[in-house]
């Protein structure tokens, strides 16, 4: 993209926003550690991989589907293009890779200016569309909250979720599946939390709040190390909307983590459901939501599958070399935005599941101690030389004269011999066994070519031109129109309770329509 003053102003505003938000997230969490994986070292490797590869990979996606259309798709369902993976990791990992390369003297702060501005512009367009429902750029901007979903989706949740009490079969099944999914997700993602996502809260009345809880990349799919693991699980992504009574979620942050008062307890969960969604679904697809016994039995079965998968995968990973653990973790982190390629129908593991040779050359530096300390300097101490700014500056949280991520100098508008970008994709490799298994999708276990073909041909009906721009603000004054009814019926199509009801419902109507 061609640089101009306004674009550069916007890029620097977003760089500073992500920088400030990331610093707050890092200092209020803890050092990432694991006795199993060399986590900080692979994180740094992933940042470098992101810097060298993402601009070209994202440009390829946008030749098929724009960032804002991806945001529209992600907003309507639970895709891995969410708060943590796309809205935060995308800009943050890319910029941290750039910062590390600047600290090593390999980049100047004006180098790759067109790449940097493009990645920031992509991020802004995606985030604005993804957050269209609450009209913020990040969860932090909204006071650590995300309200992505429209009324038509939330009404289906409210009408169809099954009420539960501690000790009943469905409550127990949901609690056990939730915990097992969380455990498996950390393992499948090599200790990263990015397979887990939470969004909301949404007000459900009578002191109740809804949190939408998601888990991604559970079955055979993009990660080569999941070949042969969890093959009995028919869904790659699962969502469990939970309603809690007497619990207020005061923080749902840009990492998709939540905090609430009182502390989260399954005892306070009063309603649950189960859904799946992916690049081929019309929004959320109910899973075994016909009746509570079927749902409980399904959750119990999935929990057993995931529990076995956890043991199977742990034994596999326990036999990995350090290089394989480095590559696995770095690939998890540097493919956080791979699902853009799935939406476009152009996913290619040769492009995504590899460490660029320009990033891989740094492996001899990435011992455990260097990884721990360099990451600490980069995101905690902010003591890397390039992060220092003039002595009068006071950063948002620390009040110190530093910023985690350097801005672009405006001098690039006057020329000056900088390189526009990192250049074309270069070869990459991985020390892990190559992908051979199937891809688990909502249309069955597919070969990649078929998955890409279906994805390229698919566009959800809610994203058709006649519906795409119809938001709740439009519904406010058009709810009696046939067009509004048609839009709502799309979301109600698979609803046990609201199928065909249309746009005129209010909360008070749902109780009489709710089917057991």
Positions 104 through 123 that interact with another protein (CB under 8 A): 104-108, 111-112
Report in angstroms how near the CB of residue 104 gets to another protein at its nearest.
5
Stretch that binds another protein, among 145-153, 272-280, 373-381, 491-499 (CB under 8 A): 373-381
CB of 63 to another protein, least distance (A): 21
Pairing mode of beta strands 248-252, 258-261: antiparallel
Return the residue of 59, 64, 103, 509 that touches another protein, per CB under 8 A.
Answer: 103
Q: Does 365 bind another protein (CB under 8 A)?
A: yes
Q: What angle do CA 470, 471, 477 make, to 5 degrees?
A: 85
Does position 311 interact with another protein (CB under 8 A)? The reply is: yes
Pick from 364, 415, 465, 516 the residue near another protein by CB under 8 A.
364
Note whether 373 binds another protein by CB under 8 A. Answer: yes
Contact between 273 and 241 (Cβ < 8 Å): yes
Q: Smallest gap, in angstroms, from Cβ of residue 384 to another protein?
A: 6
- CA torsion 369-374-380-382 (nearest 10°) is 150
- Residues near 25 by Cβ (< 8 Å), separated by ≥ 6? 253, 254, 255
Q: Is 372 in the site for another protein (CB under 8 A)?
A: yes
CB 347 within 8 A of CB 338: yes
* Stretch touching another protein by CB under 8 A, among 101-109, 228-236, 347-355, 480-488: 101-109
* Phi, psi dihedrals of residue 384, rounded to the nearest 5°: -70, 140
84/22 Cα distance (integer angstroms): 11
Q: Which of 65, 149, 170, 187 binds another protein (CB under 8 A)?
A: 187
Long-range contacts of 246-253 (CB under 8 A, 24+ apart): 246/207, 247/209, 248/201, 248/209, 249/200, 249/201, 249/209, 249/211, 250/144, 251/144, 251/145, 252/139, 252/144, 252/145, 252/146, 252/198, 252/199, 252/200, 252/201, 252/211, 253/25, 253/139, 253/140, 253/144
Site for another protein in 423-462 (CB under 8 A): 423-424, 426
Q: Indicate whether 384 belongs to the interface with another protein (CB under 8 A).
A: yes
Please tell me whether residue 401 binds another protein under the rule CB under 8 A: yes
Indicate whether 191 belongs to the interface with another protein (CB under 8 A). yes
Query: H-type helices in 259-367, by residue range?
Result: 292-318, 322-334, 339-344, 349-352, 357-360
Interface with another protein, residue 391, by CB under 8 A: yes
Q: Which residues ranging from 291 to 310 are in contact with another protein (CB under 8 A)?
A: 310
Least spacing, CB of residue 466 vs another protein, in Å: 42
Residues 436 and 225: their CA atoms lie apart, in Å, by 10
Q: Is 474 in the site for another protein (CB under 8 A)?
A: no
Q: How far apart are CA 256 and CA 22, in angstroms?
A: 13
Which runs of E-coded beta strand occur in 133-178? 162-163
- Six-digit token pair at 255? 């990492």
Q: Does position 143 bind another protein by CB under 8 A?
A: no
CA 404/CA 379 separation, integer angstroms: 6
Q: Which of residues 233-292 bind another protein (CB under 8 A)?
A: 251, 257, 259, 261-266
- Pick the binder of another protein from 422, 438, 484, 498 (CB under 8 A): 422
Q: Per-residue x/- mask for another protein, residues 22 to 51, rule CB under 8 A?
A: ------xxx-xxxxxxxxx-----------
CA 16 – CA 393 distance, rounded (Å): 13
Q: Does 207 bind another protein (CB under 8 A)?
A: no
Sole window of 182-190, 222-230, 407-415, 439-447 interacting with another protein (rule: CB under 8 A): 182-190
Among 64, 245, 389, 400, binds another protein (CB under 8 A): 389
Stretch that binds another protein, among 140-148, 330-338, 341-349, 417-425 (CB under 8 A): 417-425
- Assess contact for 323 and 363: CB atoms under 8 A: yes
CB of 317 to another protein, least distance (A): 8
Q: Which is nearer to another protein, 179 or 483 (CB)?
A: 179
Using rule CB under 8 A, residue 386 touches another protein? yes
Residue 428 bridge partners (DSSP): 356
């Amino acid at each position: 993209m061609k640089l101009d003053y306004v674009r550069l102003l916007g890029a620097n505003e977003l760089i500073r926003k992500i920088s400030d938000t990331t610093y707050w997230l890092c200092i209020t969490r803890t050092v990432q550690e694991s006795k199993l994986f060399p986590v900080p070292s692979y994180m740094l490797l992933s940042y470098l991989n992101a810097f060298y590869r993402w601009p070209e990979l994202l440009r390829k996606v946008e030749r098929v589907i724009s960032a804002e259309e991806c945001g529209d798709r992600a907003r309507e369902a639970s895709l891995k293009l969410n708060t943590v993976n796309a809205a935060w990791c995308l800009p943050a990992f890319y910029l941290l890779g750039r910062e590390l390369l600047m600290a090593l003297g390999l980049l100047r702060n004006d180098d790759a200016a067109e790449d940097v501005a493009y990645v920031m512009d992509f991020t802004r367009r995606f985030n604005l569309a993804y957050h269209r429902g609450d009209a913020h750029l990040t969860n932090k901007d909204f006071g650590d909250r995300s309200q992505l979903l429209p009324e038509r989706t939330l009404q289906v949740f409210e009408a169809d979720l099954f009420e539960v009490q501690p000790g009943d079969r469905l409550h127990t099944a949901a609690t056990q599946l939730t915990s097992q999914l969380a455990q498996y997700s950390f393992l499948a993602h090599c200790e990263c939390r990015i397979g887990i996502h939470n969004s909301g809260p949404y007000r459900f009345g009578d002191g109740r709040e809804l949190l939408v809880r998601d888990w991604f990349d559970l079955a055979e799919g993009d990660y080569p190390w999941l070949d042969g693991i969890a093959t009995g699980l028919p869904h790659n992504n699962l969502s469990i909307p939970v309603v809690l009574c007497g619990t207020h979620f005061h923080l749902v942050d840009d990492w998709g983590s939540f905090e609430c008062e009182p502390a989260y307890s399954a005892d306070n969960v009063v309603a649950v459901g189960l859904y799946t969604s992916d690049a081929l679904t019309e929004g959320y697809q109910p899973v075994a939501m016909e009746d509570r016994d079927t749902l409980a039995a399904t959750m119990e079965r999935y929990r057993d599958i995931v529990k076995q998968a956890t043991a199977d995968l742990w034994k596999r990973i326990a036999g990995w070399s350090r290089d394989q653990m480095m590559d696995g973790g770095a690939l998890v982190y540097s493919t956080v935005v791979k699902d853009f390629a799935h939406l476009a129908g152009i996913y290619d593991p040769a492009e995504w599941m590899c460490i660029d040779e320009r990033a891989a050359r740094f492996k001899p530096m990435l011992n455990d101690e260097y990884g721990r300390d360099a990451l600490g300097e980069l995101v905690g101490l902010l003591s890397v030389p390039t992060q220092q700014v003039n002595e009068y500056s006071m950063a948002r949280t620390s009040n110190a004269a530093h910023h985690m991520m350097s801005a672009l100098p405006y001098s690039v508008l006057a020329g000056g011999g900088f390189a526009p970008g990192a250049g074309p994709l270069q070869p990459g490799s991985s020390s892990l066994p190559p992908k051979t298994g199937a891809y688990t999708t909502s249309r069955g276990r597919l070969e990649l070519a078929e998955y890409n073909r279906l994805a390229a041909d698919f566009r959800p009906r809610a994203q058709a031109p006649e519906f795409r721009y119809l938001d709740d603000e439009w519904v406010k004054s058009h709810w009696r129109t046939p067009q509004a009814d048609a839009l709502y019926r799309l979301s109600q199509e698979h609803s046990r309770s609201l199928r065909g009801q249309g746009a005129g419902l209010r909360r008070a109507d749902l109780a009489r329509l709710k089917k057991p």
